């Protein structure tokens, strides 16, 4: 019988959080629309799309470029974060299809798992605890623990170091082109599970596999 992990020399997995394990991007999108209306900002959806998978500092730079320094990006960030957390406190944290199932499967196979998220620690930990996902991870690197945001490879290299594994023997699971570029540059095999953005030709060249859902990824690993 074939062994997916031995055949592909895979010793560990590193997951992104937003858009991969949690359907939080849909909540953030709502928050951005609500707050942009409050602030009288136009064309917020196009900016939100560009900001998927990147850190706070990158978002603030893009925000300033689009709306000018006179528009308070820090206020926008805090207001959307507070709105999102309030929404999820009231309605629960939406989980992506198959998130717990695939994490539980990897745990049953004794495959080490890390999380590499652009979200800040204080915010992301709350979401992971509320979603019941925190205890699945052997290592976590948050966005405010690295100097360079995705698509820089730093966060994936740090995740592999925390697992004590070589990047070439790890698989990254991402939903955004920015995350795929980050993981690919770090030397991981890249699996894309598209969320808000489909894989373009450039992204496809950097991916090892593209799956419709995490359940599809589990089916591949069961072969």
CA distances from 184 to 54, 130, 180, 207, 221 (A): 15, 30, 6, 8, 20
- Asked if 153 contacts 182 with a C-beta cutoff of 8 angstroms, the reply is yes
- Is residue 69 annotated as a catalytic residue, yes or no? no
Please check whether residue 80 is in contact with residue 24, taking contact to mean a CB–CB distance below 8 angstroms: no
Q: Which token pair is 138?
A: 């052997």
What is d(CA 140, CA 32) in angstroms, rounded to the nearest whole number?
A: 27
Helix ranges, 68-196 (H): 73-91, 99-108, 121-131, 154-163, 177-186
Catalytic residue among 16, 152, 175, 195: 16
Q: Which residues are catalytic?
A: 16
């Amino acid at each position: 019988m074939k062994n997916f992990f031995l055949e592909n020399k895979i010793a560990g997995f590193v997951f992104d959080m937003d858009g991969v394990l949690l359907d939080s991007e849909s909540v953030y999108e709502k928050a951005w629309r609500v707050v942009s209306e409050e602030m009288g900002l136009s064309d917020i959806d196009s900016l939100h799309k560009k900001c998927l998978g990147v850190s706070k500092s990158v978002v603030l730079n893009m925000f300033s470029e689009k709306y000018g320094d006179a528009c308070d990006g820090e206020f926008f960030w805090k207001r959307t974060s507070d709105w999102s957390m309030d929404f999820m406190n009231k309605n629960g944290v939406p989980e992506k299809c198959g998130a717990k199932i695939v994490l539980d499967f990897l745990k049953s196979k004794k495959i080490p798992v890390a999380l590499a998220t652009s979200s800040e620690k204080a915010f992301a930990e709350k979401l992971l605890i509320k979603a019941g996902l925190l205890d699945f991870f052997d290592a976590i690197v948050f966005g405010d623990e690295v100097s360079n945001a995705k698509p820089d490879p730093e966060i994936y290299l740090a995740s592999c170091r925390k697992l004590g594994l070589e990047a070439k023997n790890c698989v990254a699971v991402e939903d955004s082109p920015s995350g795929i570029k980050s993981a690919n540059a770090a030397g991981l095999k890249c699996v894309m599970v598209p969320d808000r953005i489909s894989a373009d030709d450039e992204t496809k060249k950097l991916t090892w596999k593209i799956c419709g859902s995490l359940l599809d990824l589990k089916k591949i690993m069961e072969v």
